[in-house]
Amino acid sequence: MKPDMRTCGRLSANHSRRPSNTLVRFGGDPRRVTSLTLVVLAALFTPMLLFGQQVQPSSPLTLRQAVNIALEKNPARKAALAETRAASADVKQARSLLFPHVAFSEAATAGDDPVYVFGSKLRQQRFDASDFALNVLNTPAPFGNFSTRFGGTWNLFDSLASWRSVNRAEREKDATDRQLERTDQEIVYRVADSYYAVLLAKKQLEVAEQAMKTAEAILERSKNRVESGVVVESDSLSAEVRLATRKQELIRAQNNVAMAGAQLSAAMGLSTGSEFEPSDALTERDLPVSTLEELEKQAIEKRPDLKRIGSEEAAQKESVSIAKSSFGPRVNAFAGWEADNPTLLAGGGGNNWQAGIEVQIDLFEGGAKQAQLSHERAMQEKVAAMKEMATDAVRLEVRKAYYDVDATRQELDAARASIAESQESLRINQDRYEAGLSTVTDLLAAEEAARRAQGDYWEMMCRYYTGYAALELASGTLNPQSPVVTP
């Protein structure tokens, strides 16, 4: 850095006038010196702090950890969990109908209506003989009343409609619980699928980088042969075109890694800007597979969504019973206590109570109850049909997932064998091209075959694991402890 000549001049003049052991001396207020020092330190350290905040290494993450985070953070699970809480509240609300309901009220009224004044005086127990005068009865003076009431009702019998409402609410809660289980399984599957997609994207990036190096080596060989006059310039041009293609593929592979990471973060319920480094490796390992018959049986018995439909069917059956109960009698008990006073706090009035039992029977409602019963029966038939459809769909889903896993396993064996064959073919064609026994077209074709063999192998391996997760999802056994989740 070039020194400040004016500062150096002042320092030289001061030094010539008075010798001093001080190397640098600032004149003026010491507070200005302190402020200047703080500014310099801030200028030096602020970029370092900002750099430390911006550059954060990716956190290592296993698939099991990713699943656990998703089961805590994923908004789909939060929504399903909220539905279970709402269903629990509905059960409490239905049970409240079995208990008596008590209410309190306080009313303040005033007026000169003859009937109102007459009744208020009676309730306050302040009625006397003078109140029978005709002019007092016909044109009473304004009168005020403060009424305090406690009242209660109790549904003693409603043809079991209240009890059936409780049963229906409990079955609906069971349905939401089963839906929560299915949501958890779907979240585990989405996280596993996204996690293996990240592993595949990284392997594809490695393949693209290796293909890039191979294309550069081919281009260098072809240029050397063109310069030596062994081949024409079209060989190097073809190699340059292949190198440009590999550069494009490398760029796409790099972007695919970033996109796969964002999809994994979204599946976990985190910001798409979160960065994680998968610590699991995409390697071959044996996963246990049951027979197709056993998987179908497990699916029918364990699939939470089928259990949910079964709970919905039971709830709809209770709805039919509730509609039938509406034709029966209802017995209600009621009671009330009331205090009427001329003032709010001083008292001076009277009180009274009343209690009774009421029996209600609806004789005619224009066919509304019969129509409601027909509606509930139709809905019951609909739910039964949906359950049958869902069962058939589950069987087909299990079969498709089973056949996909079986086919992918066999394709993986074939892809593994083709890697060694394609690499050997590439080596032979490189030697033949150096010896002038083959063309650059043959060499580029062998290079393309080797690249495809490696890419297909990693893709088959990823499809095998995601297909296995789909098979467990279809059979209703996928969970954080599944073999595909925990190596």
The DSSP code sequence of 201-213 is HHHHHHHHHHHHH
**How much is the pTM?**
0.79
Quote the CA–CA distance of 183 and 78 in Å, as a whole number. Answer: 10
pLDDT mean over 5-32: 38
What pLDDT does residue 9 have?
A: 38
Q: Which residue, 315, 342, 360, sits at the end of a domain?
A: 360
Are residue 352 and residue 401 in the same domain, yes or no? no
Query: What CA–CA distance (Å, rounded) separates 326 from 160?
Result: 9
Percent of the chain with pLDDT over 90: 65
What tokens appear for 422 in the block? 């394609």
Question: Is residue 229 located within the same domain as residue 201?
Answer: yes
Flag whether pLDDT at 222 surpasses 70: yes
- Are residue 341 and residue 192 in the same domain, yes or no? no
Query: What percent of the chain has pLDDT above 70?
Result: 88
**Partners of 145 in beta bridges:** 109
Residues 125 and 70 in one domain: no
Give which of 401, 410, 398 is closest to 467, Cα–Cα. Answer: 401
Model pLDDT, residue 33: 38
Residue 14, pLDDT > 80, answer no
In angstroms, the Cα distances linking 83 to 73, 94, 169 are 16, 16, 13
Same domain as 178, residue 284? yes
Average pLDDT over residues 280-286: 88
Distance CA 484, CA 62 (A): 12
CA distance 433 to 428: 9
Mean pLDDT value of segment 85-89: 97
How many structural domains compose the chain? 2
pLDDT in tens, 459-474: 999 999 999 999 999 9
Same structural domain, 287 and 393: yes
Helix (H) or strand (E) holding 147: strand 143-157
CA distance 21 to 65: 64
Average of pLDDT values for 267-292? Answer: 88
| 3-class SS string, 80-112 | HHHHHHHHHHHHHHHHHHHCCEEEEEEEEEEEC
| Per-residue model confidence (pLDDT) at position 58 | 64
* 30 vs 61 pLDDT, higher one: 61
Q: 107-152: per-residue pLDDT in tens?
A: 999 999 999 999 998 898 888 888 888 888 889 999 999 999 999 9
Which residue would you say has higher pLDDT here, 213 or 26?
Answer: 213
Q: How far is CA 59 from CA 53, 174, 262, 269, 408, in A?
A: 15, 39, 14, 16, 32
20 occurs within a structural domain: no
pLDDT band at 156 (very low <50, low <70, confident <90, very high): very high
- Rounded distance, CA 308 to CA 312, Å? 6
Do 126 and 267 fall into the same domain? Answer: no
Contact 485, 67 (CB under 8 A): yes
Residue 446 and residue 468 in one domain: yes
In a domain, 487, yes or no: no
Regarding whether 337 and 274 lie in a shared domain, the answer is no
Angle at which helices 161-227 and 63-73 cross, to 10°: 140
Contact (CB, 8 A) for 138 and 331: no
pLDDT confidence band for 24 (50 / 70 / 90): very low
Residue finishing a domain among 308, 341, 360: 360
pLDDT at 17 over 90: no
Two tokens at 400?
A: 């498709």
Q: Specify the pLDDT at position 199.
A: 95
With respect to residue 11, please indicate whether it lies within any of the assigned structural domains: no
3 located within any domain: no
Residues 349-393: pLDDT tens digits?
Answer: 889 999 999 999 999 999 999 999 999 999 999 999 999 999 999
CA 220 to chain centre: 52
Q: What is the pLDDT of residue 436?
A: 81
Q: Is residue 51 part of a domain?
A: no
Is residue 412, in this structure, part of any structural domain at all?
yes
Overall average pLDDT of the 176-190 stretch: 97
Residues 108 and 233 in one domain: no
Q: pLDDT digits over 296-331, tens only?
A: 999 999 999 999 999 999 999 999 999 999 999 999
In this structure, what token pair is assigned to residue 28?
């003026």
Beta bridge partners of 357: 333
pLDDT of residue 247: 95
The secondary structure of 47-66, three-state, reads HHHHHHHHCCCCEEECHHHH
Residues 379 and 248 in one domain: yes
pLDDT at 30: 41
pLDDT at 250 over 70: yes
Report the CATH number that the domain containing residue 253 is assigned in CATH.
Answer: 1.20.1600.10
| CATH number for 141 | 2.20.200
Assigned domain for 180 exists: yes
Q: Alpha-carbon distance 211 to 209, whole Å?
A: 5
Per-residue confidence (pLDDT) for residue 27, from 0 to 100: 40
Q: Of how many residues is the chain composed? A: 487
- Stretch 401-407: mean pLDDT, rounded? 96
Phi–psi pair at 108, nearest 5 degrees? -120, 125
What lies within 8 Å, CB to CB, of 54 at 6+ separation is: none
Token reading at 269: 């319920």
Same domain, 199 and 293: yes
Q: What is the mean pLDDT of the chain?
A: 86
Domain hosting residue 115, numbered range: 100-157+331-360
pLDDT above 60 for 19: no
pLDDT for position 151: 96
Q: Is residue 33 part of a domain?
A: no
Q: Is the pLDDT of residue 481 over 80?
A: yes
Least-confidence region, from 136-145, 199-208, 395-404: 136-145
